[in-house]
Amino acid sequence: MAYSVPDLPYDYAALEPHIDEQTMRVHHDKHHQAYVDKANAALEGTEWADKDVDDVLRNLDQLPDDIRTAVRNNAGGHSNHSFFWQIMSPDGGGEPDGDLRSAIDDAFGSFDSFKDEFKTAGVNRFGSGWSWLVHDGSGLAVVSTANQDSPVSDGQTPLLGVDVWEHAYYLKYQNKRPDYIDAWWNVVNWPEVASRFSAAG
Ligand code: MN
């Protein structure tokens, strides 16, 4: 079955004031839809058309040469954005607890050190991309990807990610990407991140 854009699990305005309604409308309805449409067009008629998007992203090297870049960009965009809507919540923010918190403290020294590293990766991503907290098979790590590249393609499991493309913040924050990331912590859905951590561990 062809990919489709999942409904947001909350209203477009639910992440206000941190993420504004207009940004959410354009981001979800226009940008994510475009990734889905282009991924479907690239995969149509191939054996990969009915595969789970992350299975496709794990096997980019097996795709036909003439569609590999389009799939990498657009199936990546579909996977990344489907993930992104889930790891935000109007009830978000605060700090993680339990096993996830312990793992973050062990890997980064403290929660604040983790936040600094994650933010720095996002701020320093030149051009468009993402900053991620991933499980790399042995433990937690902060990584950054360009464009719509997914950590899944590198064998990593994304646990948390922030979209630092200008379309994610420009209407409200203009050029101030650091301010956007600072505000974004207020909508992080830590229970969802913890659930993904449990599944990855
Ligand atoms: Mn985006």
**CATH code: domain of residue 189:** 3.55.40.20
Contacts of 135 (CB under 8 A, 6+ apart): 141, 156, 157, 159, 197, 200, 201
Taking the centre of ligand 1 as the mean of its atom positions, its distance from the CA of residue 98, in whole angstroms, is 30
Taking the centre of ligand 1 as the mean of its atom positions, its distance from the CA of residue 109, in whole angstroms, is 30
Taking the centre of ligand 1 as the mean of its atom positions, its distance from the CA of residue 106, in whole angstroms, is 31
Taking the centre of ligand 1 as the mean of its atom positions, its distance from the CA of residue 127, in whole angstroms, is 13
What is the domain count for the chain?
Answer: 2
Asked if 69 and 27 sit in the same domain, the reply is yes
Which of 54, 86, 118 is a domain's end point? Answer: 86
| Cα 198 versus chain centre, distance | 18
The SS3 call for residue 163 is strand
Crossing angle (nearest 10°) for helices 190-200 and 98-108: 80
CA distance 74 to 109: 36
Taking the centre of ligand 1 as the mean of its atom positions, its distance from the CA of residue 176, in whole angstroms, is 16
Asked if 132 and 104 sit in the same domain, the reply is yes
Q: Which two tokens stand for residue 149?
A: 């590249």
User: Which residue from 193, 199, 198 is spatially nearest to 95, judged by alpha carbons?
Assistant: 193
Domain that holds residue 28: 21-86
Which of 86, 113, 140 is a domain's end point? Answer: 86
Q: What is the dihedral of CA 94, 14, 173, 25, to 10 degrees?
A: 140
Taking the centre of ligand 1 as the mean of its atom positions, its distance from the CA of residue 33, in whole angstroms, is 11
Taking the centre of ligand 1 as the mean of its atom positions, its distance from the CA of residue 197, in whole angstroms, is 23
CA distance 114 to 103: 11
Taking the centre of ligand 1 as the mean of its atom positions, its distance from the CA of residue 157, in whole angstroms, is 19
Asked if 189 and 103 sit in the same domain, the reply is yes
For residue 14, being part of any structural domain is answered with no
Taking the centre of ligand 1 as the mean of its atom positions, its distance from the CA of residue 80, in whole angstroms, is 8
pLDDT at 58 (0 to 100):
98
- State the first-to-last Cα distance of the chain, in angstroms, to the nearest integer: 30
Reading the chain (201 residues) residue by residue, the pLDDT tens digits are: 799 999 999 999 999 999 999 999 999 999 999 999 999 999 999 999 989 999 999 999 999 999 999 999 999 999 999 999 999 999 999 999 999 999 999 999 999 999 999 999 999 999 999 999 999 999 999 999 999 999 999 999 999 999 999 999 999 999 999 999 999 999 999 999 999 999 997
Taking the centre of ligand 1 as the mean of its atom positions, its distance from the CA of residue 30, in whole angstroms, is 10
For residue 174, being part of any structural domain is answered with yes
Taking the centre of ligand 1 as the mean of its atom positions, its distance from the CA of residue 20, in whole angstroms, is 14
Asked if 79 and 41 sit in the same domain, the reply is yes
CA distance 101 to 187: 17
Which of 60, 86, 112 is a domain's end point? Answer: 86
Sign of CA dihedral 150, 151, 156, 160: negative
